[in-house]
Structure 1
Amino acid sequence: MKKSIAFFIMVVMVGWVFGAAAPAQSQVTDISWGTSAVGSAGHRALVNLAAMLNREIPEYRIMVLPTPGAIVSVKGYATGEFDGYYGADIAFYELANDIQRFKGFKPNIKRQPVQSFWAYTMEVGIGIHTRDLGNFKQWRDLSRQRMFTGPMPWDVRAALERGMEAIGVNHQYMEVDLSTVGSLVDAGRLKGFIAYTSAEATPAPWIVELSLATDWAILNPSKEEMQMLRDQGIEPVQVSKDVFKKDVKVDSITLLPFFYGFHVGLEVPEEDMYRMLVAIEKNADELVKADAGFRQIQQNMPELQRRGVASSAAFVPIHPGLAKYMRERGVWNDAWDDRVAKP
């Protein structure tokens, strides 16, 4: 009887030890990762990225949370609402300088956003109805015209507005639902709208849907306007006319690029962030098959990180995991050493 009791106690104790150890070994850290609205390029990209990371880095469980715009996710991270966010160089510029969409926001910051992964460039331009091709020859012709340059919180809108301001386009902004842009352009109530791509390769889903509702074309800036943009530090890029999967009535599309990334803070340790970056690089082919917007990652991920960091090193700190990755790939600039975030 005593032996049976002793054996029972031993079994219970062993079970308790292994039972207590199991949760520690299988502990998963949830990441609530904010991105842009459903139907946007950012939402599509993070859904595919999260699916891959959840598989490759099982210690983390990423939940994709759409917001009205990327800027909302940056602010949400800074105030503790999200664990990750969708941030662009133009947002970091506004945050650092307390201007535009971030004016007066600094007192609300509970933790400092950092840059940790640059996913692709985005390129912004202007679309018009084909019937207006004879009326509008350059961007400045849209002055005083009703335009939709994107939802108010969106970075693509901020990037396009920055370019338009640089050449003096004084348009009338209209805030409309994404699903109605095509019909409003078709009816003539909007004379221009934002047309943009990810990685010079793929348009946002809502623009693809817009093409079903109206016949539109790209309006390129004139040569004079392109020089005005360069004088303001904005370098246009030429994108294939086939990128929008329709005839946009030009031989080559001129768009304005900026950098976009999916970032986390120091709550994700250096080594874990480094592992995420390595996993992204390793699975670049898979990501591109799911979303052509990851093409630049597939082509040269280290170089894209270098360009992204260069665009924002003066505005927000750099995650040490990203710094480690870049040093190993030979794309780190020692001038950034003092910009690496510290716990």
Structure 2
Amino acid sequence: MGGSSQGSTAFNSMQALARALNEHSDTLRMTVEQTQGNVANMYQYDQGNIPAIATDNNTINKAVNETDRFNDEPVDNIGYQSFRFNGLDIFWVAVEGSGIESTADFAGKTVYPIQPGFGTRLLTEEVMRVAGMWEEVDIINVNTSDIPGAIEEGRVDAVAVYGSNRVELTGWAKQIDARNDVYLVDVADDFKQAIEEVGGARLAEIEPYGWNQEVTKVTDSIVSWNLDLQCLLGPEVPADAAHELARISHEHGETIREADQTYADHSDPADMATAVIPEHPVHPGVAEFYKEQDVWDDSWTVGDEA
């Protein structure tokens, strides 16, 4: 399974699922590979390097429709859908001393819109472009592991960070919390409107969570653009294996959340299917599982077996 970068939400969730397979499945084991992110995973799968990947619905939609990055660099092969395993709440923080109070203050500032290759970066960049912000700011492109150091060096004014399922911050955001002084900013109406206009995003206003430092000096709420994560499985993944993957996720959530407390609750199998994109096929093994659990929607399609 292609995960994402070390410490990312997708990587941690897949590691937790792999652990549950080791403990509770007699037939299936899964190795999680560290990769360069959700978008990069689509190319890894297309090139035949990985038979299954963790990615997100915005990236899947863009790959299917050959838009944005996938317009210039399309992929010929896209794995079949399975289930939503996590969700990301993406939002802005400003660096102490930046003078930023609102997204309206971003013009001329240096902004980190997350690491290139991440699905969260793809979505954040699109929202920024729709809001007319992208051309007004200076973009810094570094790996997530390097952003706390860049902040310490005074090279960054604002950062897009994210947490998982309103439970905890992703690993690299925790490093920012530990090493840097940051705070939440107000989100102007034009940026909120941009979130609502972008198909792969979902606008939400939520309470802050996961921070050890006080981040509410400007605002005490988070306006986020949310992203659903799911696995794509290739037709070469046997139906029995895909069915077992879904079964373990459904029946052994307690084991999974011992390793990753942000992993989605699949005790109700209907919650596994909330992120299915009707225009793209579901893996035959997962489709069979959904039918057994009476959560299959006849408007969905089943992928062909290899």
The two structures have a TM-score, normalised by structure 2, of 0.89
Structure 1 residue 222: deviation in Å?
Answer: 2.5
Residue 296 of structure 2: aligned partner: 332
Q: Secondary structure at the match of 2:93?
A: strand
What amino acid is aligned across from residue 275 of structure 2 in structure 1?
G
Q: Distance in 2 between matches of 1:50 and 1:285?
A: 13
Q: Distance in 2 between matches of 1:283 and 1:103?
A: 39
- Aligned pairs for 1:1-343 (under 5 A) are 33-106=1-74, 109=76, 111-132=77-98, 135-170=99-134, 171-233=137-199, 234-249=201-216, 250-294=219-263, 296-298=264-266, 300-303=268-271, 305-309=272-276, 312-314=277-279, 316-336=280-300, 339-343=301-305
Q: Distance in 1 between matches of 2:211 and 2:261?
A: 12
Q: Distance in 2 between matches of 1:322 and 1:244?
A: 37
Where does the alignment leave 5 or more consecutive residues of structure 2 unmatched? none
Of stretches 111-120 and 135-144 in structure 1, the one that deviates more from structure 2 is 135-144
Structure 1 residue 187: deviation in Å?
Answer: 3.7
**1:140–1:168 contact (8 Å) kept in structure 2:** no
Q: Secondary structure at the match of 1:297?
A: coil
Structure 1 residue 158: deviation in Å?
Answer: 1.0
Q: How has the CA–CA distance of structure 1 residues 83 and 235 changed in structure 2, closer, same or farther, with 3 Å as cutoff? A: closer
Structure 1 residue 265: deviation in Å?
Answer: 1.7
What amino acid is aligned across from residue 3 of structure 2 in structure 1?
T
**2:127–2:194 contact (8 Å) kept in structure 1:** no
Q: Distance in 2 between matches of 1:143 and 1:297?
A: 40
Structure 1 residue 298: deviation in Å?
Answer: 4.7
Q: Secondary structure at the match of 1:147?
A: strand
Q: Distance in 1 between matches of 2:189 and 2:206?
A: 16
Q: Secondary structure at the match of 1:335?
A: coil
Q: Distance in 1 between matches of 2:147 and 2:302?
A: 42
- Paired residues in the alignment total 300
Q: Distance in 1 between matches of 2:256 and 2:211?
A: 20
What amino acid is aligned across from residue 306 of structure 1 in structure 2?
A
Structure 1 residue 185: deviation in Å?
Answer: 2.2
Q: Distance in 2 between matches of 1:299 and 1:282?
A: 7
Q: Percent identity?
A: 19
Q: Distance in 2 between matches of 1:122 and 1:201?
A: 10
The two structures have a TM-score, normalised by structure 1, of 0.80
Where does the alignment leave 5 or more consecutive residues of structure 1 unmatched? 1-32
Q: How has the CA–CA distance of structure 1 residues 214 and 279 changed in structure 2, closer, same or farther, with 3 Å as cutoff? A: same
Q: Secondary structure at the match of 2:111?
A: strand
Q: Distance in 2 between matches of 1:232 and 1:334?
A: 27
Q: Distance in 2 between matches of 1:300 and 1:217?
A: 36
Larger radius of gyration: 1
Structure 1 residue 36: deviation in Å?
Answer: 0.8
